[in-house]
């Protein structure tokens, strides 16, 4: 199964893995950065109700969770604005990095593939990609000429929360003109759980007379839907096109039984590429997106806060002609967005953020076995708050930051099937609006958030090293990473209770949390391997082993960084025979006892999932029918990466039945 060196391609079909495009503008089939591509039938089999849940368990990837609709990917223990969430390489504006209860308005149903780059990718995407990048890629703007009409229909049912979901896509073209239309929808009931919603520690804190949720997770139901329309014109040396997409959601906050969140996003995107140019540049690629996002937090039918985020992101990348053994690209990026939180519970002021950046990446085949890459980025970030008459934000002042990043990477071919890759980088990240200006209640999370108006840039030196092997179906990678941060900005609970005005009171219903910068160290290990142990007469059996570990602490005090996933190991067994396939996966997560004093530990767990499926062909149509059983041991699973681990466990035993048809 050919694939880019250093890239784990997760799949169950036989098509060649696509070339990684994220953090790889030069189109190389091997890159130094650790990365994973999830695509094809494997993406269909992995799809969950949120982006984070879909990717959870891949090397170095965990998830936030706030019920089935909310899950933002965490990479190597880093979350929020250290992980860049993209659609086709440009920003998808939302409010998911502001708070753990805000969903990412990207549904895995709409993705053609998902690419994950672990470690600093700040050179192309800014300082807020210091932890990594998750890029969902679709064909809403067809990039290649289509001939005739084709399509796809998906449907799925999950017993764990009575989730009913479906999607349809049609695209086609003629004489260089192409179109794409897709739509999807999902509706779920409340999540079934193995026992009490609240942990034993939390039940001891609860009111003795309060009813204890058991068997289901209250207010965990919801629905979402979306779709898009796109068109492009393609010719021998390029393409250009536009697409509109929409997303709507209505789901409950599992922390507040009376709170619902209603979300919408409208997005206009444009993309163009011209190849075979004359002059110093041989290729130019332009990407643009404009997003209008809004969500309301509704308590007992009354709107408490309205979050809005409107703005655009644009990138121009120019690939220059090769200079001997050196090839490379330079680019510019300009983005601007205005974020506001309106209402009595506004926790941040209306703030306009403007970013302008220059970047470059060069790749040098220094020796037949040695490839070296060097990149740099400079960006200027300006934040302009507007109190709009709200006394809590009267003192908020504009801030400007100049942030620079640089990276050196290399791949050395030890032998035909063995290589070693390394990266060394320095990154700077400007603080976000909420890290600077937050000052208000957030009922959906039960917190009163306080920013640090004097916060400085976050700086990090990072390194990773990995050993890779690939020989047909046998492949393996083993690597380690290290990051040392100066002024790591994070949200910390003070242990104090406050009222809606932020006044400390023993009867307060909100937990006070502040943003502060500390020196921090992250390091860990990641491994992913597959070995074919049997192959005869069309039958084959593969054994896989995957594991990851992240250790993160305050470098001065030794106090653990909050919400770090524990050591995890995954053992898989895959069987295939013609159109039939089966897969068994056992995941063991150790207990997490490393946590700040105001947090709680999580117990270890072992889960088992089994999947069986059949690929079929009827006429010109191809189909995939599958059934998957998740958490068959019916374990109570509480993620250490969740702020709600003591009140909202993960789903219990469930069975998913799905059908995908392409024509």
Q: Are 650 and 614 contacting, i.e. CB atoms less than 8 angstroms apart? A: no
Nearest to 437 by CA among 527, 320, 543, 341: 341
**408 closest CA partner among 134, 60, 32:** 32
Pairing type for strands 30-39 and 5-10 reads: parallel
Strand duo 148-158 + 163-174: pairing: antiparallel
Distance (Å, whole) CA 540 – CA 216: 40
Q: Which residue has the higher pLDDT, 626 or 1?
A: 626
| pLDDT > 50? residue 1 | no
Structure tokens at 193: 């759980």
pLDDT value at 509 more than 60: yes
User: pLDDT tens digits, residue range 245-270?
Assistant: 999 999 999 988 889 999 999 999 99
Query: Tens digit of pLDDT for each residue in 608-641?
Result: 999 999 999 998 899 999 999 999 999 999 999 9
- Is the pLDDT assigned to residue 490 strictly greater than 90? no
pTM exceeds 0.85: yes
Q: Is the pLDDT of residue 169 over 80?
A: yes
Closest CA to 411 of 6, 2, 3, 1: 6
Per-residue CA distances from 227 to 54, 132, 134, 266, 310 (Å) = 19, 27, 21, 10, 19
Determine the pLDDT at residue 122. Answer: 62
Q: Which two tokens stand for residue 569?
A: 């190991």
CA distance 232 to 226: 21
- For residue 6, what pLDDT band results from cuts at 50, 70 and 90? very low
**Structure-model confidence comparison of residues 56 and 508, the more confident one:** 56
* Confidence tier at 444 by pLDDT (50, 70, 90): low
- Percent of the chain surpassing pLDDT 90: 76
What integer is the mean pLDDT of 84-112?
89
């Amino acid at each position: 199964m050919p694939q880019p060196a250093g890239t784990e391609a997760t799949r169950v079909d036989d098509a060649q893995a696509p070339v990684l495009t994220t953090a790889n503008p030069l189109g190389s089939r091997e890159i130094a950065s650790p990365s994973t591509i999830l695509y094809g039938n494997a993406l269909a089999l992995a799809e969950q109700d949120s982006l984070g849940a879909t990717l959870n368990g891949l090397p170095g990837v965990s998830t936030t969770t706030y019920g089935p609709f909310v899950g933002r990917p965490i990479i190597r223990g880093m979350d929020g604005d250290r992980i860049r969430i993209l659609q086709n390489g440009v920003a998808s504006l939302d409010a998911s990095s502001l708070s753990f209860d805000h969903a990412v308005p990207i549904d895995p149903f709409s993705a053609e593939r998902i690419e994950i780059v672990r470690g600093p990718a700040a050179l192309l995407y800014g300082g807020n990609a210091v932890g990594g990048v998750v890029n969902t890629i679709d064909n809403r703007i067809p990039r290649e000429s289509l001939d005739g009409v084709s399509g796809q229909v998906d449907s799925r049912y999950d017993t764990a929360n009575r989730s009913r979901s479906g999607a349809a896509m049609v695209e086609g073209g003629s004489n260089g003109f192409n179109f794409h239309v897709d739509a999807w929808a999902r509706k779920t009931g409340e999540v079934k759980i193995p026992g009490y919603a609240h942990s034993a520690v939390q039940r001891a804190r609860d009111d003795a007379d309060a009813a204890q949720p058991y068997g289901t997770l209250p207010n965990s139901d919801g629905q979402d839907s979306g779709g898009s329309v796109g068109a492009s014109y393609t010719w021998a040396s390029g393409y250009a096109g536009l697409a509109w997409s929409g997303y709507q959601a209505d789901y409950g906050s599992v922390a507040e039984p009376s709170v619902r969140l209603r979300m919408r996003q409208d997005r206009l995107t444009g993309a163009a590429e011209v190849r075979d140019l004359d002059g110093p540049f041989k290729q130019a690629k332009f990407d643009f997106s404009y997003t209008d996002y809004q969500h309301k937090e509704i308590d007992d039918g009354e709107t408490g806060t309205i979050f809005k985020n409107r703005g655009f992101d644009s990138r121009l990348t120019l690939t220059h002609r090769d200079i001997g053994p050196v090839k490379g690209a330079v680019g510019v990026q300009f983005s601007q967005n205005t974020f506001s939180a309106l209402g009595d519970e506004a926790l941040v002021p209306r703030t306009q953020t403007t970013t302008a950046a220059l970047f470059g990446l060069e790749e040098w085949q220094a020796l037949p076995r040695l490839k070296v890459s060097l990149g740099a980025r400079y960006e200027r970030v300006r934040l302009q708050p507007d109190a709009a008459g709200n006394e809590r934000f009267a003192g908020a002042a504009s801030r400007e930051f100049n942030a620079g990043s640089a990276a050196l990477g290399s791949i050395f071919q030890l032998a035909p099937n063995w290589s070693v890759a390394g990266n060394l980088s320095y990154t700077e990240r400007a603080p976000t609006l909420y890290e600077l200006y937050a000052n208000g209640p957030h009922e959906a999370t039960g917190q009163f958030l306080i920013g640090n108006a004097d916060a400085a840039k976050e700086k990090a030196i990072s390194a990773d090293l990995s050993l890779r092997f690939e020989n047909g179906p046998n492949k393996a990678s083993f690597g380690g990473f290290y990051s040392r941060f100066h002024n790591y900005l994070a949200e910390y609970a003070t242990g104090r209770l406050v009222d809606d005005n932020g006044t400390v009171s023993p009867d307060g219903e909100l937990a006070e949390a502040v943003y502060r910068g500390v020196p921090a160290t992250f390091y860990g290990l990641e491994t992913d391997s597959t070995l074919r142990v049997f192959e005869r007469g069309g039958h084959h059996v593969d054994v896989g082993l995957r594991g990851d570990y992240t250790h993160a602490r305050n470098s001065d005090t030794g106090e653990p960084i909050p919400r770090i996933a524990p050591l995890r190991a995954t053992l898989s067994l895959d069987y295939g025979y013609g159109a039939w396939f089966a897969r068994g996966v056992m995941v063991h997560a150790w207990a997490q006892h490393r946590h700040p004093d105001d947090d709680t530990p999580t117990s270890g767990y072992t889960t088992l999932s089994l999947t069986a499926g059949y690929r079929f062909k009827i006429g010109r149509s191809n189909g995939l029918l599958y059934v998957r059983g998740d958490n068959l041991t019916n374990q109570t699973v509480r993620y250490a990466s969740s702020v709600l681990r003591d009140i909202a466990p993960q789903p219990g035993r469930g069975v998913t039945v799905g059908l995908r048809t392409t024509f």
